[in-house]
Amino acid sequence: MQQETTGHFDREAAQRHEARASGAHPPRASPAPTPGSPAPTPGSPVPTPGSPTPGPTPPSLSYVSLGERPLRRLPQLFVGLALYGFSLALMVRASLGVNPWSVLYEGLEGRTALSFGAISAIVGVLVLLLWVPLKQRLRCGTAANIIVLACSSDLGLLLVPQHLGLPTRIALLVGGVALNGLSVAVYVGARCGPGPRDGLMIGVCAVTGRSIRLVRTVLEVVVLAGGWLLGGTVGVGTVLYALTVGSITQLLMPWCVYRSHAERQAPPAAGATAGAPHADATAGRQRARSPRWERARPPLAEAARRPDQWRR
């Protein structure tokens, strides 16, 4: 038995010596799975020490039937829409620039004989037509968006006074942009159906797989550029809104999105949870409780480099 072990070590040492002499690196064995970690599936990449683990899966924003927890989701929908309208009122009272879509409406108003309200309605219908290739559908949240948004924005204009000082207007602008990003995350996160423009954002995100931050920023910048070319007025608040509202919405969306019953019952994907650090800590505690003679035994590679010591 000792001769067989010594011969095995000699052959492995000779193979390693030949590999180093030829400049090739011997293949590394894949790390053994730690206790409690899921076994790798065939064809999946084997994680190596120091390699980044995949992050959590972005939350789904697809529609969930109203029959599932309506008392939990409908209040979230209406609160988010009310905050949305109030945020628009704050930006109007700031008088430092409206949102990019209002710039587009203003530019079209100067080029046509239509009123501001008529143009906003026509553009809304055109945006809804863009839902067809994106496989988006009209939901109850879409109708609530039109009604609640108009009422809450008018109420906000009545509550917030006009002719304020510049510091107050700057505060209203920053607060309005931040509140708008929060309100989009709240009402879209209810998953009862988005409004026309937010539905366009969700559809593009679903088709392209891009983030909310990127898609929303690109859409706002394109609309802003179109409104400016048509003669719309662009202010500091307009640029601030276009560049930041997507990031704010993506940052707050995981905290506001509703997860359906099926999604809560589904097992978490490998690497999507914080189970890897826990498994490493468990393996470390098991190594610490192992017998001293087992921890002191040299590994196979080191034994192959020192075969004479093991012969004795």
CA torsion sign for 99, 205, 65, 76 is: negative
State the residue for tokens 């048509």: 230
Average pLDDT over residues 247-264: 94
Average pLDDT over residues 41-62: 57
Q: Point out the least confidently predicted range of 5-19, 189-203, 240-254.
A: 5-19
CA 259 to chain CA centroid, Å, is 14
Distance CA 200, CA 186 (A): 17
Altogether, the residues listed in the chain come to a count of 312
Would you kindly state where each structural domain of the chain is located, as residue ranges?
A: 70-256
pLDDT band at 117; cut points 50, 70, 90: confident
Tell me the three state secondary structure of residue 170.
helix
Of 173, 180, 131, the C-alpha closest to 153 is 180
Mean pLDDT for all residues in the chain: 80
Distance CA 268, CA 36 (A): 14
Asked whether residue 256 carries a pLDDT value surpassing 60, the answer given is yes
Asked whether residue 299 carries a pLDDT value surpassing 90, the answer given is no
pLDDT of residue 266: 80
Which two structure tokens, joined as six digits, stand for 119? 């143009």
pLDDT exceeding 90 applies to what percent of the chain? Answer: 57
Of 303, 299, 312, the C-alpha closest to 12 is 303
Asked whether residue 48 carries a pLDDT value surpassing 60, the answer given is no
pLDDT band at 294; cut points 50, 70, 90: very low
Average pLDDT over residues 23-42: 53
Which contacts (CB < 8 Å, 24+ apart) does range 239-245 have?
A: 239/97, 240/97, 240/173, 240/174, 240/177, 241/91, 241/97, 241/99, 241/100, 241/177, 241/180, 242/100, 242/217, 243/217, 244/177, 244/181, 245/177, 245/180, 245/181, 245/184, 245/216, 245/217, 245/220
pLDDT of residue 164: 93
Q: Do 47 and 280 meet the contact criterion of CB atoms below 8 Å apart?
A: no
**Cβ partners under 8 Å of residue 267, min gap 6:** none
Q: Which amino acid is at 212?
A: I
